[in-house]
Amino acid sequence: MKRETLFLKITVLLMGLPVLALCLFVLPGFTEYFAGLTPVLDFFRYPFLIGLYATAVLFFVALYQTFKLLTYIDKNQAFSELSVKALRRIKQCAIAISAAYILFMPLIFLMAEADDAPGMVVIGMVVIFGCMVVAVFAAVLEKLLNNAIEIKSELDLTV
């Protein structure tokens, strides 16, 4: 295994650990936090938790696709349709996470207002814009990779 991709694979695994810890330890106790705010927000506690867990699943799918992409690079299959599919799935996951947070942004705003914590809105916005940056970057890489595959196939046909 190449050193560069080994470092990136370890980084991808380390990126997943805090999210996994949040899903296992913090989010189950989140229902009590919700119950203490206001009765209006109590109704939204379970849909909000389902949304958070759904975005966590999408995050792990994107990390898995990143890991697969790094494996393709190790096997010298970086310029293949498999790499394009992995980038497409990463882009789709990032867009879905952004969409979910956009849908839950009014609820996050209500929670921040009830708890007097404006930082929650900022965190929600950072997640939305961070995921959109990842989606745009993956889309650009996908297009570049498609062009490179097309050029490579033309060169293979000429030789």
pLDDT top residue among 147 and 159: 147
Hey, how many other C-beta atoms are within 10 angstroms of the C-beta on 36? 10
pLDDT of residue 157: 74
Render pLDDT for 77-118 as a digit per residue (tens, 0 to 9).
888 899 999 999 999 999 999 999 999 888 888 777 777 777
pLDDT of residue 37: 64
Token reading at 152: 């490579």
User: Can you give the residue ranges of every domain in the chain?
Assistant: 3-158
pLDDT of residue 112: 77
Q: What is the pTM of this model?
A: 0.88
Question: CA quadruple 5, 82, 145, 15: dihedral positive or negative?
Answer: negative
pLDDT of residue 45: 78
Residue 108 Cα to chain centre, angstroms: 19
Q: What integer is the mean pLDDT of 140-153?
A: 92
pLDDT of residue 40: 67
Q: Where do runs of H (alpha helix) occur along the chain?
A: 3-21, 30-35, 39-42, 45-74, 81-115, 119-158
Render pLDDT for 15-73 as a digit per residue (tens, 0 to 9).
999 999 999 998 887 767 666 666 767 777 788 889 899 999 999 999 999 999 999 99
Q: What is the DSSP string of 103-122?
A: HHHHHHHHHHHHHT-THHHH
Q: What integer is the mean pLDDT of 118-129?
A: 88
Look at the block and give the residue holding tokens 């992409």: 69
The helix/strand count (H/E) of the chain reads as 6, 0
